[in-house]
A and B are shown apart, each in its own frame.
Chain A
Amino acid sequence: MFELLGAGLANLMQVKYLVPLALGTLAGIVGGALPGVTITMTIIVVLPFTFGLDPLQGLAAMTGVYVGGSAGGLVTAVLLGIPGTPSAIATTFDGHPMARNGEPGRAVWLGIWASVFGGMLGGVFLIGATGPLAAFALQFGPWEFFSLFVLALSMVAGLVESSVLKGLLSGALGLVVTILGSDPVMGRERLTLGVPFLEGGVPFLPVLIGVFAFAQIMSEVERAGGVERAAQGAQRALSLAASHVKVLWEIVSRPFLVLWASFIGVLIGVLPAIGGSAANMMAYDQAKKFSRRPEKFGTGIPEGVIASEAANNANVGGSLVTIMAFGIPGDAVTAVMLGALTIHGIQSGPLFILQNAQLAYGIFAAYLIAHLLMVVILAVGARWMLRVVTVPKAALFPAVLVLCTVGAYALNNTMANVYILLTFGLLGYAMVKTGFPLAPFILGVILGDQIEINLIRAIMTDADPWLFLTRPISGLLIAASVASVVFALWQHRRQQRRLAQRADGDADF
């Protein structure tokens, strides 16, 4: 393992890999710093640029975007109080007050170094756990894979905040998309609805790009001006000078906090499609609960910044584990990475690390080096990062949509993908407006074919449907799926009851 990692690190130090990695990290930091532009959108924009690159170059650039984006959001979160990405929301709680109290450099560098520590701990898990988990998954038959994918989908659907029913329905709609066009087992046409571009099925990348890019851009367009007004204070130059020794000491003197926040980040990263936004909030909440001075949280204390930033970068490591060991994207960003692998003809899943060891360890190396590049880029450019938020959205959004169009078109040089992009862009926006979560939908689109293939394989091997329950691992996974939905329903009911009680209490007074 260490030999392969060493070779991966040496490989990545070559200019041809280092340049895309550095550019990806820079793009991630800039995208992460821009309020209203998430890491998902940044990676969607970067995706078409990777088509002409070799797989490791492309994936290095994407890993850079992921790592850079997770840290980029902290600059605007700290200095403007506007989280550049949802994964930096909790950073604003203490980072911004600390900056307002006259210590912007300390706040920014606490965040950056906490990101590095969290990211490196996530990296240890990524490198150490991917191989064993993939080896474990190699024991899986079609029954286990079917049950694993069902578990992933039910967990994502159940963990959405708004409504469990809508989460489940959203996941089911994602599965419906995969039954249109062609049968993945025999490749025969089915349910094309007379639409010519559906004949070959619906490729998931244009769907993913359309759903996420349009949902996000149109939601911003809808409340036009909000971001611009908030960013008006961004023109002023700030000194971000801070003693790195002091900042590093503030972090290493809280080893339990860093470890616990990173553990939460990794754990949430491993669970499909929950993402950094939940990781930073949960880590912040835990830091507050374990603190001897919880009342100080929100006033500008280092624990709040450290917990949030360590968790959101450790989350990246966790997300990469699920895609590399099981072929299940941990979130939308890894879903795009999965698409990039597919474009290069590489099958993700348990065999990925065995069949593509050089590429897998190259990704590990890219992940580690991206953290160092992130520090260098932010050391040089953090003070200029504030000017990034003044980029007019009116110029940015059309350019992003053009890149999305090119990304969809260039997948196989067909206009059908552009029409799919638009169709699912409309659907994505409609889903957001009607309160349907996007994550289960996308996971349904990604896993639909695999669920069908494994179901058919299992039944063709042995027609006994009870095998899904009687085979130990499969049965356990199905039980976990049911438990996750039941737990989500219970949690949702409890929350509704509390809200109702609070409303009654308010009414009494």
Chain B
Amino acid sequence: MLGRDGWAGLAVLTASLVLFGLTLGLEGNPMVPIGPGFYPRIVLGVTAVLAAALVIADSLASKRRAPPRGASDYGLVASMFALFGLYAGALSFLGFRLSTLLYVAAANALLAPPRSARGWARVALVALLTTVVVYLAFERYLLVLLPRGRWTGF
């Protein structure tokens, strides 16, 4: 029975073998006789060997330590990742200002759910301040052109 390390090693082993297979289809170049697949094959070969060693070491481990039990909130982590994914996707459609305002408000409310109207007002204020300060600092002062929205036009 494989443990956490074993499964991680197996995943890396599979990925490196698949990529190794893909390097075999890379065409050579007359300018560089070694070819673009030479170095990747070494790296992927080493990675595969190390991953296989991890799988073997894990399966041979006689005493497996139980994973530490703590009050980990993985649901919150997953929600935060999902929210950031939505934010990254929304940037192209809603633009920086609107999507940042919504993202900061949503993430803030997710991490510390407001329990009163005052709490919601604080969330809105933090979102507005973050958006305005970052926008002004980068667009106006540092001349960084932040993403514009296809739907909103700003």
- Indicate if the CB atoms of B144 and A51 lie closer than 8 Å: yes
Number of B residues near A (Cβ < 8 Å) is 63
Interface size class of A (residues with CB under 8 A): 35 or more
Contact A186 B72 (CB under 8 A): no
Write the A45-56 contact mask toward B (1 if CB under 8 angstroms, else 0). Answer: 000110110000
- B60 to nearest A CB, angstroms? 12
A456 near B39 (CB under 8 angstroms)? yes
Q: Given A52-B144, A191-B40, A406-B134, A176 and B47 touching (CB < 8 A)?
A: yes
- Contact: A392 with B112, CB < 8 Å? yes
A to B contact number (C-beta, < 8 Å): 163
Q: Collect the chain A residues with CB atoms within 8 Å of residue B104's CB.
A: 398-399, 402
Chain B positions 4-43 with a Cβ under 8 Å from a chain A Cβ: 4-5, 8-9, 12, 16, 19, 22-23, 26, 29, 31-34, 36-40, 43
A82 within 8 A of B: no
* Chain B contact residues, majority secondary structure: helix
Instruction: Find out whether the CB atom of B31 lies under 8 angstroms from the CB atom of A172.
Output: no
Contact (Cβ within 8 A) B112 A410 = no
Instruction: Determine whether A469 belongs to the interface, using a CB cutoff of 8 Å to chain B.
Output: no
Residue of B with least CB distance to A452: B39
Known: A165-B54, A409-B147. A186 touches B47 (CB 8 A): no
Question: Do most interface residues of chain A lie in helix, strand or loop, or is the interface mixed?
Answer: helix
- Which of chain A's residues have a CB closer than 8 A to the CB of B92? 415
Q: Chain A residues near B80 (CB, 8 Å)?
A: 217-218, 221
For B98, the chain A residues whose CB sits under 8 A away are none
In the assembled complex, which residues on chain B have CB atoms less than 8 Å from the CB atom of A186?
29, 31-32, 36
Q: Chain A residues with Cβ under 8 A from B54's Cβ?
A: 165-166, 169
Are the CB atoms of B107 and A398 closer together than 8 Å? yes
Query: Is A223 an interface residue, CB under 8 A from the partner?
Result: yes
From A172, A185, A222, contact of B43 by CB (8 A): A172
Taking A175-B47, A419-B88 as given, write out 11 further A-B residue pairs in contact, using a Cβ cutoff of 8 Å, ordered by the A residue number: A169-B47, A172-B50, A191-B40, A217-B80, A221-B80, A398-B108, A398-B111, A413-B144, A413-B145, A415-B88, A459-B34
Q: Give the 4 A-B residue pairs with the shortest CB-CB distance, closest first.
A: A394-B112, A52-B142, A394-B111, A398-B107
